[in-house]
């Protein structure tokens, strides 16, 4: 598993948990657990505060059917 890439995607504002699930097969709960395990406690708290309730992290809350463009070379395309 590419932990660094998952962390990078989780920090990105416009990358949804659904995109992480599609590419790596991790649920939002698993992403949260990974972030808690891999980040320093203060960094994890900052990340959680940043992502909690953010519409862009959940495709269903965005209000449109299709998400952000993905490169055709990415896994799952």
Is the pLDDT score of 60 beyond 80?
no
Tell me if 35 sits within 8 A of 10, measured CB to CB: yes
Is the pLDDT score of 55 beyond 90?
no
What are 55's two structure tokens?
């519409």
Q: Where are the domains of the chain?
A: 3-56
pLDDT in tens, 10-42: 998 888 888 899 999 999 999 999 999 999 999
Global pTM? Answer: 0.71
- Dist CA 39 CA 43 (whole Å): 6
Give the burial string for 29-48 (b: 16+ CB within 10 Å, else e): eebbebbeeebeeeeeeebe
């Amino acid at each position: 598993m590419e932990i660094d890439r998952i962390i990078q995607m989780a920090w990105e504002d416009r990358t949804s948990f659904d995109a992480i699930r599609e590419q790596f097969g991790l649920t939002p709960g698993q992403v949260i657990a990974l972030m808690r395990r891999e980040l320093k406690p203060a960094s994890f708290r900052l990340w959680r505060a940043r992502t909690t309730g953010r519409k862009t992290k959940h495709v269903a809350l965005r209000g449109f059917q299709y998400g952000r463009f993905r490169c055709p070379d990415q896994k799952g395309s």
